[in-house]
């Protein structure tokens, strides 16, 4: 077991623990803060995979923007200091079934796709310049399609939210 | 290159030394800015007598006195507070400040780590401080603190976009995101074919420079963008419940980040540590001095504005960001891109 695997295991354990706390904690602000740890863990795993740029995109977008908006929304509507017993509902078992199903599907796909193939160590860190070239040269059409999709979603959200 | 300053050390020692240096730069920078600008410059500009009095000559003792005062204050946690989150919040803000320093070069070899994603890394980790601010405001169990945190979050989200977009012009011109690479791009640049002093990007990216400074002013919650900490409205905002040493953490975070942002602005637009016709070991020695001069120059601009203008209203604040700064920075990117391809 190489040092990467040890680091992976430590980060993964912290992520799993925090992910469980996200859904079991009684305080919704704490849940959001545990989610910060999970998302930071994903960024750390990207760094382990030598995808530096992706890791910091993860930090900037998910922690710096998405979770700040989560916390902002929670605190703007209600900011409970004490735990809230209404957080639980009777969807416990369907949720467990759905997540087990998802874990099963993803696990099967990964094992089927890679099996015991040893993934070669990345020869060098992916340079941002190469990444840009591959997005805007090799994959420019899919990139533009995704951009249009997101733009459509944005406009749709504004149209639905507008009252007048 | 003559390796006069080179010493062979194990990587653990190098890491320890780098960490210690950055850890000492944060309080040093914060105290320097606090002393030179907050106490002395503001006293002169606004005719304040208090900070000019202690110790006799020019009030030199004021800052040391403040430090002693903070250390002897009682460490209070409010009764209704969420203790763990309350204690963790200042640490998160300081960690975010600490991480920004990693990629700022002060000499050809004087940099903690020359990351390929450089400037992007600095802006990404500086956005982490918002989480700390929200945690502090919520965990204090105080409505003024919560209002301050919400104002801070709304403002920081709005101004992060122009901050990131303002740097894109420089990145396009330099062709790299590494701050060290950006310094070299300016050093090796030419002004209409004359390469005497290189080509500081402030000449071609003056719009980007002004956008960056405006957005940084808001990110640092300095007046006129100081609604989150407005003493006259919400008694200090998100850090109202913090006392003594923990309050000092917020002070360090604020001024340490101001020092770091001034450093980033100096690197992106003013040529960073580079000195014309000097390289090698001489640049290693001169670089930090030149860099510090430029950092103080940019900080002077930040604090000059801070001491001059009154506070913006919330609606003015938001419309400045969304209606003026962001469109302007997009136009700047477009024009820079077109010129980059055309020339």
pTM score of the predicted model: 0.84
- Position A101 scores a pLDDT of 94
What's the mean pLDDT when you consider all of chain B? 82
CB contact under 8 A, A65 and B127: yes
CB contact under 8 A, A36 and B80: no
B117 in A contact zone (CB under 8 Å)? yes
pLDDT at B122 over 60: yes
Q: Which residues contact B56 (CB under 8 A, 6 or more apart)?
A: none
**Cα(B10)–Cα(B8) distance, integer angstroms:** 7
Contact B267/B182 with Cβ under 8 angstroms? yes
CB contact under 8 A, A64 and B130: yes
- Position A72 scores a pLDDT of 86
**Cα(B253)–Cα(B260) distance, integer angstroms:** 10
Contacting residues of B for A59, CB less than 8 Å apart: 124-125, 127-128
Residue A118 distance to chain B (closest CA, Å): 28
Residue A82 distance to chain B (closest CA, Å): 9
B102 in A contact zone (CB under 8 Å)? no
Which has the minimum average pLDDT: A124-128, A136-140, B174-178?
A124-128
**Closest alpha carbon to A61 in B124, B36, B17, B106:** B124
Which has the minimum average pLDDT: A21-30, A42-51, B187-196, B279-288?
B187-196
- Position A124 scores a pLDDT of 65
pLDDT at B6 over 60: no
Contacts across the A-B interface (CB distance below 8 Å): 79
Q: Which residues contact B78 (CB under 8 A, 6 or more apart)?
A: B86, B140, B141, B142, B241
The residue that leads in pLDDT, B95 or A122, is: B95
**Cα(B226)–Cα(B312) distance, integer angstroms:** 8
pLDDT at B3 over 60: no
CB contact under 8 A, B120 and A69: no
Instruction: Give the CA count within 13 Å in the CB-facing half-sphere of A155.
Output: 5
DSSP of B112-178: S---TTHHHHHHHHHTTHHHHHHHHHHHTT-HHHHHHHHHHHHHHHHHHHHHHHHHHHHHHHHT---
| Token pair recorded at residue A5 | 């695997």
When pLDDT is cut at 50, 70 and 90, the band that residue B43 belongs to is confident
Interface predicted TM-score of the whole assembly (ipTM), two decimals: 0.79
pLDDT at B150 over 90: no
**Cα(A83)–Cα(A87) distance, integer angstroms:** 9
When pLDDT is cut at 50, 70 and 90, the band that residue A1 belongs to is low
pLDDT at B1 over 50: no
When pLDDT is cut at 50, 70 and 90, the band that residue A108 belongs to is very high
The residue count for chain B = 343
Closest residue of chain B to A126, computed from CA coordinates: B116
For B267-315, the pLDDT digits (tens) are: 888 888 887 777 777 777 888 888 888 888 898 888 888 888 888 888 8
For B208-263, the pLDDT digits (tens) are: 899 999 999 888 888 788 877 777 777 777 887 888 778 888 888 888 888 899 99
Contact B208/B166 with Cβ under 8 angstroms? yes
Q: Which residues contact B19 (CB under 8 A, 6 or more apart)?
A: none
- Position B156 scores a pLDDT of 84
DSSP 8-state secondary structure symbol assigned to residue A89: -
Which has the minimum average pLDDT: B95-104, B144-153, B277-286, B323-332?
B277-286
- Position B7 scores a pLDDT of 63
**Cα(B136)–Cα(A121) distance, integer angstroms:** 41
Residue A25 distance to chain B (closest CA, Å): 14
**Cα(A49)–Cα(A12) distance, integer angstroms:** 14
**Cα(A28)–Cα(A59) distance, integer angstroms:** 21
For residues B56-70, average pLDDT: 78
Which contacts qualify for A74-82: CB closer than 8 Å, 24 or more apart?
A: A74/A28, A74/A29, A74/A32, A75/A29, A75/B134, A75/B137, A75/B138, A75/B146, A75/B149, A75/B150, A75/B153, A76/B150, A79/A29, A79/B138, A79/B146, A80/A27, A80/A28, A80/A29, A81/B80, A81/B82, A81/B141, A82/A27
Closest residue of chain A to B152, computed from CA coordinates: A72
Residue B59 distance to chain A (closest CA, Å): 40
CB contact under 8 A, B134 and A60: no
For B176-206, the pLDDT digits (tens) are: 888 888 888 887 777 666 666 677 888 788 8
Residue B27 distance to chain A (closest CA, Å): 25
B115 in A contact zone (CB under 8 Å)? yes
DSSP 8-state secondary structure symbol assigned to residue B239: G
The residue that leads in pLDDT, B75 or A108, is: A108
3-state secondary structure of A138: helix
Contacting residues of B for A69, CB less than 8 Å apart: 157
Q: Angle B143-174/B206-219 helices, nearest 10 degrees?
A: 160
């Amino acid at each position: 077991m190489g040092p990467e695997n040890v680091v992976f295991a430590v980060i993964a354990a912290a992520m799993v623990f925090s992910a469980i706390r996200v859904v079991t904690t009684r305080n919704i602000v704490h849940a959001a803060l545990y989610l910060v740890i999970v998302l930071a863990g994903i960024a750390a795993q990207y760094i382990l995979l030598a995808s530096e740029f992706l890791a910091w995109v993860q930090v900037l977008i998910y922690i710096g923007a998405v979770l700040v908006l989560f916390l902002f929304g929670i605190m703007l509507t209600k900011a409970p200091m004490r735990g809230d017993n209404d957080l639980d509902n009777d969807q416990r078992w369907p949720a467990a079934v759905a997540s087990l199903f998802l874990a099963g599907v993803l696990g099967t796909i990964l094992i089927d796709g890679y099996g015991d193939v040893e993934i070669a160590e990345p020869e060098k860190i992916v340079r941002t310049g190469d990444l840009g070239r591959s997005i805007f040269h090799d994959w420019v059409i899919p990139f533009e399609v995704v951009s249009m999709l997101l733009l459509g979603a944005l406009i749709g959200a504004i149209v639905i939210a507008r009252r007048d | 290159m003559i390796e006069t300053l080179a010493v062979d050390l194990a990587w653990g020692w190098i890491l320890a030394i780098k960490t210690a240096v950055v850890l000492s730069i944060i309080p040093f920078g914060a105290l320097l800015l606090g002393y030179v600008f907050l106490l002395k410059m503001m006293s002169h500009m606004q005719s304040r007598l208090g900070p000019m009095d202690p110790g006799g000559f020019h009030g030199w003792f004021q800052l040391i006195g403040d430090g002693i005062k903070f250390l002897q204050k009682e460490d209070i946690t409010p009764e209704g507070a969420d203790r763990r989150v309350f204690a963790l919040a200042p640490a998160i803000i300081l960690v975010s400040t600490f991480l920004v320093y990693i990629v700022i070069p002060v000499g050809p070899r004087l940099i903690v780590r020359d990351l390929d994603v450089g400037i992007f890394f600095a802006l990404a980790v500086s956005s982490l401080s918002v989480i700390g601010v929200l945690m502090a405001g919520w965990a204090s169990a105080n409505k003024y603190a919560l209002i301050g945190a919400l104002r801070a979050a709304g403002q920081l989200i709005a101004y992060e976009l122009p901050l990131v977009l303002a740097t894109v012009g420089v990145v396009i011109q330099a062709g790299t995101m590494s701050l060290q690479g950006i310094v070299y791009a300016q050093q090796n640049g030419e002004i209409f074919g004359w390469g005497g002093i290189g080509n500081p990007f402030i000449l071609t990216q003056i719009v980007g420079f002004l956008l960056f400074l405006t957005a940084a002013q808001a990110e640092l919650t300095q007046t006129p963008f100081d609604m989150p900490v407005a003493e006259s409205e919400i008694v200090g905002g998100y850090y109202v419940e913090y006392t003594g040493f923990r309050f000092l953490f917020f002070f360090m975070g604020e001024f340490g980040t101001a020092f770091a942002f001034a450093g980033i602005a100096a690197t992106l637009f003013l040529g960073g540590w580079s000195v014309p016709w000097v390289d090698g070991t001489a640049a290693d020695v001169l670089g930090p001095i030149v860099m510090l001069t430029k950092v103080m120059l940019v900080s002077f601009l930040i604090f000059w504005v801070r001491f001059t203008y009154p506070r913006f209203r919330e609606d003015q604040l938001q419309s400045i960001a969304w209606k003026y700064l962001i469109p302007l920075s997009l136009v700047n990117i477009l024009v820079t891109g077109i010129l980059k391809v055309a020339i």
